[in-house]
Amino acid sequence: MITEMSFPTRIVFGKGAVREIPNHLARLGVKRPLVVTDRGVVAAGLVARLMGVLEGAKISFATFDAVEANPTGETVVRGLEAYRAGACDGVIGIGGGSPVDAAKGVRLLATHPLPLAQYDDAKDGWRLVTNPMPPMIAIPTTAGTGSEVGRSFVVMLPETGRKTVVFAPPLMPSVAVCDPELTYDLPPKITAATGMDAFTHNLEALCAKGFHPLADALARKGIELCGRYLLRAVKNGRDEEARAHMMIAAITGAAAFQKGLGASHALAHALTPVAGVHHGLANAIVLPFVMEFNLGHAAAALAEAAVALGEPPSADQDHLARRAVERVRALAGAAGIPSRLRDAGVKDSQLPLLAEKAYEDASHLANPRPCQPADLAALLHAAF
């Protein structure tokens, strides 16, 4: 079997890294970027910080700040209109996964025709991404999705009725500017949910089917960092060391999941649109149940995860794998994540539709144990 492995993202990392942005715009030849963001990021004062840097360097820009959580295709089109109206020549996405993903969508549509649904990864839409796109800078303000180093974005489309993944290697941002200082004021609940999303990326990538030792090495490191620093970041948002390491864990997670994800993400991709559960929270709740389901099919990877989380090494792989499940339950609990879906607003009556939508999601295809619709339904019932 032949595997393709790629880790080419240019990452500018460190406290105060946003100050480097004018240099990168100049290098990329961008004279007038469109800043894509959401109102929460604006209200947190983070866009003002970016604008201060741009204005200080006398760079003119336009702003589109109407991205909602889990952006729709319509929002991406409105962002494109702002890009055209502003006569822009590059895109800056600043925020959590939603604004960074919407910025990728704007960038795609700047040089590719509608409709967005034709780029659906489930239909190998990457083949249609052939034109050069304007440069993009991604600035994460959470440590979670890792979209800043990813080659895909997720968008809600009426044509598919689900969170639709658009994947194409050229969608990787031209540069990711990762400044941990932008995450210092994130509230504990968001820190916990986004941090558990990063953790789930690392863990599902490590367990995913396929041969990708580079992804595995990153995933082990990411699991270790989350085990050490997630609770510190939740308890004290100004813990600089913890914030910096969580931002790295988000990067390793997204770089590692080019290997594949698993059933947790299939379930989470249904839980957000159907039941309104935050993506990271959804993953955090279902992950221990998915790990239990995978015992016996991913014992070696789960044993490695346990050791990365601080479990003493042992020759008894099955014991270590079970310990990994216990450690993940304890980590999520200590971070304040509820243990059941019913405590996150999910209704009993939604479970059949959730199982159906989760099965339609391609993420479970990489799960180490094959998932039938009945398996996903059983996982949902267990987690409920």
Q: Does 216 bind Zn ion (CB under 5 A)?
A: no
- Paired residues of 167 in beta bridges: 152
Binding mask 145-184 for Zn ion (x = CB under 5 A): ----------------------------------------
Least distance CB 145 / Zn ion (angstroms): 6
Q: How far apart are CA 316 and CA 311, in angstroms?
A: 12
Of 50-58, 132-140, 195-203, 371-379, which part binds Zn ion (CB under 5 A)? 195-203
Residue nearest to Zn ion (CB): 197
Q: Quick one: which of 113, 225, 102, 114 has its CA closest to 171?
A: 102
Q: Which is nearer to Zn ion, 97 or 173 (CB)?
A: 97
Of 130-138, 192-200, 298-306, 344-352, which part binds Zn ion (CB under 5 A)? 192-200
Task: Give yes or no for a contact between 262 and 207, defined as CB atoms under 8 angstroms apart.
Answer: yes
Q: Does 224 bind Zn ion (CB under 5 A)?
A: no
Q: Which is nearer to Zn ion, 197 or 216 (CB)?
A: 197
- Choosing from 65, 148, 179, 197, the residue that interacts with Zn ion (CB under 5 A) is 197
Sign of CA dihedral 327, 329, 334, 335: positive
Least distance CB 325 / Zn ion (angstroms): 19
Q: Which is nearer to Zn ion, 120 or 197 (CB)?
A: 197
Q: Which is nearer to Zn ion, 101 or 197 (CB)?
A: 197
Q: Quick one: which of 138, 121, 155, 144 has its CA closest to 366?
A: 121
Supply φ then ψ for residue 122, to 5 degrees: -65, -20
Q: Which is nearer to Zn ion, 182 or 256 (CB)?
A: 256
Least distance CB 256 / Zn ion (angstroms): 12
Least distance CB 324 / Zn ion (angstroms): 19
Q: Which is nearer to Zn ion, 37 or 142 (CB)?
A: 142
Least distance CB 375 / Zn ion (angstroms): 20
DSSP string covering 102-137: HHHHHHHHHHSPSPGGGGBGGGTGGGG--S----EE
Token digits for 240?
């600089």
Q: Which is nearer to Zn ion, 65 or 361 (CB)?
A: 361
Least distance CB 197 / Zn ion (angstroms): 4
Q: Does 101 bind Zn ion (CB under 5 A)?
A: no
Of 172-180, 194-202, 327-335, 342-350, which part binds Zn ion (CB under 5 A)? 194-202
Q: Which is nearer to Zn ion, 34 or 103 (CB)?
A: 103
Distance of CA 170 to the CA centre of its chain: 18
Q: In Å, what is the CA distance from 282 to each residue of 141, 253, 327, 339?
A: 20, 17, 18, 10
Q: How far apart are CA 266 and CA 109, in angstroms?
A: 26
Least distance CB 283 / Zn ion (angstroms): 6
Least distance CB 310 / Zn ion (angstroms): 23
Q: Quick one: which of 253, 264, 305 has its CA closest to 286?
A: 264
Q: How far apart are CA 73 and CA 89, in angstroms?
A: 21
Of 193-201, 289-297, 349-357, 365-373, which part binds Zn ion (CB under 5 A)? 193-201
Q: Which is nearer to Zn ion, 21 or 328 (CB)?
A: 328
Task: Give yes or no for a contact between 215 and 256, defined as CB atoms under 8 angstroms apart.
Answer: yes
Task: Give yes or no for a contact between 64 and 34, defined as CB atoms under 8 angstroms apart.
Answer: yes
DSSP string covering 260-293: ---HHHHHHHHHHHHH---HHHHHHHHHHHHHHH
Least distance CB 202 / Zn ion (angstroms): 10
Least distance CB 252 / Zn ion (angstroms): 13
Q: Which is nearer to Zn ion, 9 or 202 (CB)?
A: 202
Binding stretches for Zn ion (CB under 5 A)? 197
